[in-house]
Amino acid sequence: MKNFIFLLAAFMFIAIDAGAQKGIETGTQYGSGQDSTRCIENMNLFIPFGRSGNFQEAYPYWKATYDECPASHINIYIIGANIISWQINQETDPAKKEALVNDMMKLYDDRIKYFGSDPRYRNDDVIFRKSQTYYRLKGENSDHQLVYKWLGDVIEEFKEKTIPNAVMLYMVSSYNLLQKDMDNFKTQYVNDFLKCSAILDQQYAAAEAANNAKDLEDVLSCKKEIETNFIASGAAECGLLQTIYAPKVEENKSNLDALKEIMKMLNRVGCNESDVYIAASEYAYIIEPTAESAMGLGTKAYKNNDIAAAEKYLKEAVEMSEDSETRANLNLLLAVIANDKGQHQTVKQLTQKCLAENPNLGRAYLLWGSAYASGGRNLFPDDPILNKLIWYAVIDKFEKARQVDPSVAAEANRQINIYNKYFPTKEEIFMHPSLKEGETFTLPGWVNEVVRIR
């Protein structure tokens, strides 16, 4: 009887063991038999360890769960990413660290393989996180083409439903590829920008219609990111932007918000004298006069030599503008007009207004110095030596221009080389009773500038 019981127990053990299979072998969640039991036990151990940040204790149980029953729980991939990140941070051997990075990428791929249909975690979000993690781990050694392919496939699949962050990171990868091959990738980059801008525009409109403040904020943040990169890319040439935005202006000639966005973009890249900017301004001004649209009409009037209309629109724009940088640029345009008319004192006043709004506007200092050079030559009609002191004030403005704004340094240096030869000589200073090298002198009249004798 005992032998029968022993044989029966042995048979049952063999039967149970024979029925044990891992989830990865059966394509099921947990597997079967003892393997199923072991999967659940390992899962119940790694999850609390992982959630508490004890990755060292979590690792063996997580690894066993991942290897044997990868479809058992989404936390294999959520906590697993944290475990592998911890391993990477601990690892000092470059080859082993690179292998762990590859493990991380495989983890994301397996997450899609086993949980790609989970409605809580869409594939576009998972691949965005994969791409973001890849950039974080690889840094300057990143293969931008890889990320570009991953996210390009996502956009091709989800189109306007793609999460905004994935659209934004796709454009980051496109921008990085452009920087490596400006000559051959420029057209593709511009096409990518147009495609992604259209997607984000649709998402913004949908969020606005739904009155969803969070989605609006997310989309707007991504729009700003890709537009900032586009402006800095070197691909944002006015002629190219004219081609891109001219049809958009016509499509949106009754849409004030869209027109404002287009004008803002063109203004940021210095294309506010382009035909497309002026066209957008005209349509926008009809709907509702704004600082941007008035500036566009003022620019058009100036180009057409209608100075009175130009001043009218530009002054309107100054009054309506709530942005310091825009007011600075508007006052600079008015100062240019005043300079053309020989109104040098007005030039000084307007450039001072520019600099009150934007102290780093080097072009304002250049124009201010030019006004002194043109209008300050006869402050002392009866004293040719004192008359030369105006050149100190002129050079001071040009030096200030290159100091605050490196973008105008070349022009400032050119002007300095022209005018510094007109300073009074050491002999003239020595012989003049009012002058002493190293001391200051106040220039009179509208100039009213303190200069140092040198």
pLDDT, position 292:
84
Quick: pLDDT tens for 357-412.
999 999 999 999 999 999 998 999 999 999 999 999 999 999 999 999 998 999 99
CA proximity to 338, closest of 315, 355, 361, 362: 315
Average pLDDT, the chain: 90
CA distance readout (Å), 255 to 192, 251, 285, 288: 24, 9, 11, 11
Query: What's the pLDDT at 169?
Result: 97
The 10s digit of each residue's pLDDT in 214-269 is 999 999 999 989 988 988 888 878 888 888 889 989 999 999 988 988 888 787 77
pLDDT of residue 401: 96
pLDDT at 191: 86
pLDDT in tens, 53-71: 999 999 999 999 999 999 9
Report residue 396 as tokens. Answer: 């001071």
User: Which is it for the CA torsion 349, 350, 353, 358, positive or negative?
Assistant: negative
Q: What pTM value is reported for the model?
A: 0.60
Segment 14-22 shows an average pLDDT of 48
Domains of the chain: 1-121 (1.25.40), 144-235 (no CATH), 362-454 (no CATH)
Kindly indicate the confidence band of residue 159, based on its pLDDT and cuts at 50, 70 and 90.
Answer: very high
Q: What is the mean pLDDT of residues 401-428?
A: 94
Structure confidence at residue 26 (pLDDT): 65
The first and second tokens of residue 140, run together, are 């300057």
Residue 33 has pLDDT above 50, yes or no: yes
pLDDT score of 36 more than 90: no
Q: pLDDT digits over 82-133, tens only?
A: 999 999 999 999 999 999 999 999 999 999 999 988 888 899 999 999 999 9
pLDDT in tens, 180-219: 999 899 889 988 998 998 899 899 989 989 999 999 999 9
According to the model, what pLDDT value does residue 24 have? Answer: 66
pLDDT the model gives residue 239: 86
Q: List, for residues 128-158, the tens digit of each pLDDT value.
A: 999 999 999 999 999 999 999 999 999 999 9
pLDDT band, residue 3 (cuts 50/70/90): very low
- Give the list of residues 6+ apart from residue 21 with CB closer than 8 angstroms, or none: 31, 32, 33, 35
Residues 6+ apart with CB under 8 A from 391: 373, 419, 420, 422, 423
* Average pLDDT over every residue of 25-42: 77
Report whether pLDDT(27) > 70: no
- What local confidence, expressed as pLDDT, does residue 284 receive? 94
